[in-house]
Amino acid sequence: MNTRDRDDEGRARSARPRDGLGRPLEYGAGGVERQPEGVVRTPAETVREAQRLLDAGMPFHAHEVFEDAWKSGPAAAAALWRGLAQLAVGLTHAARGNAAGGARLLRRGAAGLTGVDGSAYGIDAAGLVRWAEGLAGRVDGGASVDAAAEAPRLGPSGGSSA
């Protein structure tokens, strides 16, 4: 008998609750409500929801919002949403204490956003590249990361959360 958790379509999907950084908790523990998968949002809704989650210190959940946009949006915008998803996962790993993985994903996301124009969506891609590269350097240097305190601004404030 297969006892793996499954979603409504029969795909393997853990039903364990998650914390704010997406780490699985024990069954029955309180956790953070998961982002529904496959939600089609407008670009403005995507940015608004992802920024809310980033500001709340929940970059893992923001990554899921960006991933939905990447998978459901036009191909021309895929690099933008994919790069943002990688930044959010990089911040997640850095906040979990995985310095090597966090720095690597922050740099991968920054590379993916280099030269991308996000202005049509109100996204300061160049500012986010600077933010990601700076954070990756600090993480490599041993800095501990608080996801909410390090949350980037997606809009025209240059990537900085301050």
> What domain range includes position 95?
43-140
| CATH (domain of 91) | 1.10.3450.10
What type of residue sits at position 34? R
Which residue shows structure tokens 């300061």? 124
Task: Judge whether 29 lies within some domain.
Answer: no
Structure confidence at residue 2 as a pLDDT band (50, 70, 90) = very low
- Would you give the DSSP letter of residue 156? T
pTM score, whole prediction:
0.83
Q: CA 83, CA 130: separation in Å to the nearest integer?
A: 13
- Confidence grade of residue 160 (pLDDT, cut at 50, 70, 90): low
Cα of first residue to Cα of last residue in the chain, in angstroms, is 52
**Residue predicted with more confidence, 160 or 8:** 8
User: Does 86 reside within a domain?
Assistant: yes
Q: Which residues contact 60 (CB under 8 A, 6 or more apart)?
A: 18, 20, 21, 22, 88, 89, 92
The reply to whether 148 falls in a domain is: no
The model's pLDDT over 38-76, given as tens digits with 9 standing for 90+, comes to 778 899 999 999 999 999 999 999 999 999 999 998 899
